[in-house]
Amino acid sequence: MEEFDIRSAARKKAEDNSKYNDMKQHADKLIQGFQKLNDSHAKRAIWELFQNAIDLSDKAQIIIEQKSDSLVFKHNGKPFDDNTLNCLIKQVSSKSAESNDDEIGQYGTGFITTHSFGRKILLSGSLKNDNSFISLNGFEIDRTAKTSPDLILDLVKQQNAVFDLIENGAYLKDCTPFTEF
């Protein structure tokens, strides 16, 4: 094996280890957050969803539907983009030092409370891509894994699903009026 091939393989291994460790931090934070959830967090979850919806719209419209097997929360605020959706998947704030105040999720912890309702959340609406919109229909946020290694695999799969949507998702004529959880 040539030196270039050895170095290339070593670099790939180091990059993969770094990506794994980064994702492990997200998985560990999520699992720790789930362990802290109790019945009172459902009340906070509704507040968090309302607050985010209000922050995303000049005139927020919010619809809550209780179904036999789920709770549906809809709002008419700004749609996800690739950054905000990936931040939601990894449970990190979409705000950065350079960002404006319009971004949501100052601490990146509020959405974890919504998992007091269940560990699978389906998202529908639009994914903004530059000046276009991609259909976001039943995008699954799956938090059912019990261990960090299993959750890491799920997080990577969900992150890759965002990339796949950007590359292959169906474009919409207009942004859907509501984002649904």
Query: Quick one: DSSP state of residue 78?
Result: P
Q: Is the whole-model pTM more than 0.85?
A: no
What region does 129 belong to: left with phi over 0, alpha with psi -120 to 50, or beta? beta
Residue 107 has pLDDT above 70, yes or no: no
The pLDDT of residue 98:
46
Strand (E) positions, 39-91? 62-66, 71-75, 80-81
**pLDDT at residue 96 greater than cutoff 60:** no
Angle at 25 between CA 94 and CA 165, to 5 degrees: 50
Q: Does the pLDDT at position 141 exceed 90?
A: yes
- How large is the average pLDDT for residues 47-61? 87
DSSP H/E element including 126: strand 120-129
Residue type, 25: Q
C-alpha 178: how far from chain center? 17
Q: What's the confidence (pLDDT) of residue 50?
A: 87
Helix axes 148-168, 82-90, angle to 10 degrees: 170
- DSSP, collapsed to helix, strand or coil, labels residue 161 as helix
